[in-house]
Chain A
């Protein structure tokens, strides 16, 4: 069941009404049932896998906390990680690695007919819930949180439907603890949740879906497109992927609020970042912090001299490359991740001199425009790899962008309506960049707020593309 569907609206209304008539225990059980219905709507066979993943991680938490001695605890953790990554690796990467191996063997003249791909269906959201469940076991091992004895609560934590298939990737310390607590309906939070959902739908249906057609057309005919067209398509893609993914996060966060849950912020106006460090403090925050806490920091601890530039750069590159691989079974994603790692290294070298401030403390202003634009261009360059079918196509497009600049497009060829849409969107986010989302309109009269909401709803209905358009990040 996707968010931008009538079925989801009916499901949400029914779930909301039933949920608030139940006591806390009943609410948790109901959320598990509702989440399994939500997830099973895609394909009921996926339910076995998510249940198995839930059971494995629940038991892992139990064994880790009950194990006597550090070695047994470590063995339990390692086993848990191997099983989780094994499941993820099989469903997501088996065919990719077999194909890569086939190509490598063929290139050196070795027959590879015995290696065959399996055509495995990728379960929706497997990357998200696997990481989410794994983080629980790791946190139990680190004694950051106690192991839970309540399997229902844990099922709810893993399968919570607002964030199940595309994040935010929650930590047990935040989300699981909320399952243990009594939830009280908060009228202001529910209203804020609805506002954030509305903004999320606007981003996804109006902005992202309307840009995707242009991007697909130009990228699929890259050979006949000019450098300007490819540049424009990449620019549009930057906003397509941002609006698609952050729109989903907004809907997830807003929906969770209707049920009394607070999810972590996942996007913090990332294109207003002044440098790449800030960008990764603002983009897909739940994933970047996951990799920081569970890969980068352990790698640093294992390094002999973690503060040296060499160790830092190596650990950054490993972390970002693996993060790229997480996004998809294609070398383009790996390269994209590696590229962002490379972007980090100068900042690592100069970090003492730059005195970089955290994203929350460093609200950008117009005086930072040159830094914002430069950083955006770096990120946009990386999106070419993210969007391309393969590495060869990515480099072909990049070459064209820099070389094929003769045919300057006319105004009509610049898709002016879509440019206007992106411009209005950027303006709205810029003006409200100090807020959690642009529809937090505290100083606006009630009737004006309703008018703005109606305009957005009409835009969603009138301009929105309601053909089947699953969220980009669902492929992960």
Chain B
């Protein structure tokens, strides 16, 4: 081995000098990323939540990991009462269950592929007494394609360790900081979320939207907007009604039931029966216009009706209850109880839960809470 000669040392020095401003800038941005929670690995988020219960709000802007949070959160919490389903099941709150051991794993299941992975990777390791299962009717659609997120989680590291994800975060964060320079000072000051004053982990949480300790979703942004303008509107782009009319996203035209997907639902219910887990199925409501379109549109009506009938049949055969809340009228509600075209509010959730819950005491408890003066169409103010 020989010493590096002067030319090489000079070259290395020049290279370091050239790259040092970039390294310094990247270092500062990564530090801000860690301070904001965007670059926290999920296990660290869960550790912090468990060490500081009910003090956090989590949602990242650029490295979406809510699925990973729910996956590991479910395994580590192992609750007595578990809610699963898509984001449409995320307004069930622990306060609704009056102190029971509860976790909302909404967003964990977005398809029957996810349900299959839930049965394979999670259910064997948890011991719930009751599972509330929010079912989206279009999951049965043969034309709908879904990614298997659980498998991606099980077989990969947390993306915060992937330089590509960190680079993506750096780029987006720089753009966000340019648009809103106050963001940097809020991160440095570790400003809590403006709605519930909880520690914000992730840049979306800094704005007031995020996942609470119980796994439910705090919809701070829409709630603040509806305080100013209480009338219902659908902020999703494009609105759910348009998606249904155009046959895009989940609402593809001429869809039909995939028997393999129906079989996954049957298998899940059989496994729950074997494990003596009570499963209460439900389908969350749509806004009145969306429900009307689904029921009357010649392009949607057939598959929508057949799909709901199939779900009812499967639950009936498994001797588990299923509640079809697609129509807001079943809950005795109107659009003001909806956050958007497809997501019900906290109040609507409590009303639905009151109908679903089998025991008298919880019903009485929920009734009392709903009727309190502090209730609004969107919130119960637990």
A binding-site residues for B, Cβ under 8 Å: 6, 17, 20-23, 26, 185-187, 190-191, 194, 450, 453-454, 457, 461-462, 466-467
Question: In the complex, how many angstroms separate the beta carbon of B161 from the nearest chain A beta carbon?
Answer: 11
Q: Is B228 an interface residue (CB 8 A)?
A: no
The 4 closest A-B pairs by CB, nearest first: A6-B163, A187-B7, A466-B164, A21-B1
> How would residues 1 to 36 of chain B score, 1 for a CB under 8 Å from any chain A CB and 0 otherwise?
111110110111011001001100000000000000
B8 touches A466 (CB 8 A): no
- When distances are taken between beta carbons in the complex, the residues of chain A under 8 Å from B171 are 461-462
Given contacts A6-B163, A466-B168, A467-B164, contact A185 B7 (CB under 8 A): yes
| Interface band, chain B | 20 to 34
Are A185 and B5 interface neighbours, CB within 8 A?
yes
Q: Is the interface of A mostly helix, strand, loop or mixed?
A: helix
Residues of A within 8 A of B8 (CB): 20, 185
Judged by a CB distance under 8 angstroms, whether B154 is at the interface is no
| CA of A457 to CA of B167, assembled, Å | 13
Check A23–B2 contact: CB distance below 8 A.
yes
Kindly state the separation between the CA atoms of A202 and B22 in the bound complex, as whole angstroms.
17
Q: A22-B2, A187-B11 are in contact. List 16 more A-B contacts (CB 8 A).
A: A6-B163, A17-B4, A17-B12, A20-B4, A20-B5, A21-B2, A22-B1, A185-B5, A185-B7, A185-B8, A187-B10, A450-B18, A453-B18, A454-B21, A457-B22, A466-B164
Query: How far apart sit A466 and B11, CA to CA, in the bound complex (Å)?
Result: 28
The chain A residue with its CB closest to the CB of B21 is: A454
Which B residues lie within 8 Å of A26 (CB)? Answer: 1
- Asked whether, in the complex, the Cβ of A466 is within 8 Å of the Cβ of B22, the reply is no
Q: How far is the CB of B21 from chain A (nearest CB, A)?
A: 8
Residues of B within 8 A of A453 (CB): 18
In the assembled complex, the Cα of A71 lies from the Cα of B170 at a distance in Å of 65
Name the A residues within 8 Å of B12 (CB-CB).
Answer: 17
Given contacts A190-B11, A453-B18, A457-B22, contact A466 B5 (CB under 8 A): no
Within 170-225 of B, Cβ neighbours of A (below 8 Å) are at 170-171, 174
Q: In the assembled complex, how far is the CB of residue B10 from the closest CB belonging to chain A, in whole angstroms?
A: 6
Q: Shortest distance in angstroms between B63's beta carbon and chain A's nearest beta carbon?
A: 14
Q: Smallest Cβ distance from A197 to chain B, in angstroms?
A: 12
What residue in chain A is nearest B26 (Cβ atoms)? A461
Nearest CB in chain B: distance from A32 CB, A: 18
Cβ 8 A contact of A191, one of B11, B21, B163: B11
Chain A residues with CB under 8 Å of B5's CB are 20, 185
Q: Which residue of B lies closest to A450 (CB)?
A: B18
A375 to chain B, nearest CB (A): 38
Contacts of B3 in A (CB 8 A): 21
Chain A residues lying within 8 Å of B164, measured Cβ to Cβ, are: 466-467
Residues in chain B near residue A6, CB distance under 8 A: 163
